[in-house]
Amino acid sequence: MIPGPVGFVGLGQMGGPMSRRLLDAGHRLIVHDVRPEAVDALVAAGAEAAATPAEVAARAALVLVSLPTPEVVRAVVLGPDGLIQGGALRTYVDLSTTGQAVAVEVAAALGERGIATLDAPVSGGVRGAREGTLAVMAAGPTGEVERVRPLLEAFGRVFHVGERPGLGQLMKLANNFLSATAIVATAEAVALGVKGGLDPATMVAVINAGTGRNTASEDKFPRQVLTGRYAAGFTAGLLTKDLDLCAVAAEALGVPMPVAGEVHAQWRRAVAELGADADIMAMVRKVERTANVAIGPAEAGPESDLLRPVEKHSA
């Protein structure tokens, strides 16, 4: 058990259930979010509220954040009411997907104050956050990773991917490029088969028994498409932001990624058409419309419900 209270900033779709897992594991938790209702829900479960990130860092030596964009991370950590202003903070853990540049910038700024930094983005979705089955991609000093490993294991399996700041972010960007590709590619493959007369459930079962299986075919299509839910709980805008960051990393490292470029373009077009707040499974609806075919059940409900916005992560 980590001694003393643990701070947590950002109680959105991922941060909320991860915070609850820490409470369930017996940690004393100090939380902050811009949405009072999110804080109230955690307080009702046993957490303590803080008015600002600075107050969190004034009361907790270890603080985790789960935030939506690099800009929000920079403000929460380095802003006038940011974590850097809190005198108790000694270890900062970023569970967000912020890209390498911000991870390095934040690590340098906090390092000047003697604060250790881990960038530890997670993968596995909202269900993984609830069930504690996430992949945690931690980058930072080995000793610090091992010290906080028991806490991070409340979220899932912890991988130490390297010592340098930003390596966790690079791992996450590579992962999310594959995840974004799987959604689009699986939607196109299943639309092709259904248009030609194949049953979508049979197609998904065959794909998952063969070499075409992927995260979309194994999880998202059975749970979200074949059931007619089309609601994975993550926004198309945030996934496209991750692809933006992946493109920046590829350019900086001089790695040609033509497939990633086409996938990125597909998601940018989807956001332009559907809106940044549409659920990522709205991409499947977009492919269905383009192919003039229905993959999910007809009784799933009106399209306006299927493309409803989902709650963003927030600070």
Q: Write the CATH number of the domain with boundaries 170-306.
A: 1.10.1040.10
pLDDT score, position 251: 97
**What tens digit of pLDDT does each residue of 240-277 get?**
999 999 999 999 999 999 999 999 999 999 999 999 99
pLDDT score, position 108: 97
Residue 145: both structure tokens together = 């990773």
Single out the catalytic residue among 172, 220, 241, 312: 172
pLDDT in single tens digits along all 315 residues of the chain: 677 899 999 999 999 999 999 999 999 999 999 999 999 999 999 999 999 999 999 999 999 999 999 999 999 999 999 999 999 999 999 999 999 999 999 999 999 999 999 999 999 999 999 999 999 999 999 999 999 999 999 999 999 999 999 999 999 999 999 999 999 999 999 999 999 999 999 999 999 999 999 999 999 999 999 999 999 989 999 999 999 999 999 999 999 999 999 999 999 999 999 999 999 999 999 999 999 999 998 665 443 343 434 433 333
pLDDT score, position 4: 84
DSSP output for 236-279: HHHHHHHHHHHHHHHHHHT---HHHHHHHHHHHHHHHHH-TTBB
Q: Is 286 a catalytic residue?
A: no
Q: Is the dihedral of CA 285, 269, 187, 179 positive or negative?
A: negative
Q: For residue 273, what are the CA distances in angstroms to 29, 225, 236, 285?
A: 40, 20, 11, 12
Q: Which one is the CATH code of 6-164: 3.40.50.720, 3.90.850.10, 3.90.650.10, 3.30.830.10?
A: 3.40.50.720
Report how far Cα 246 is from the mean position of its chain's Cα atoms. 14
Q: What are phi and psi of 84, to 5 degrees?
A: -65, -20
pLDDT score, position 119: 95
Provide the residue ranges of all domains of the chain, joining segments of one domain with +: 6-164, 170-306
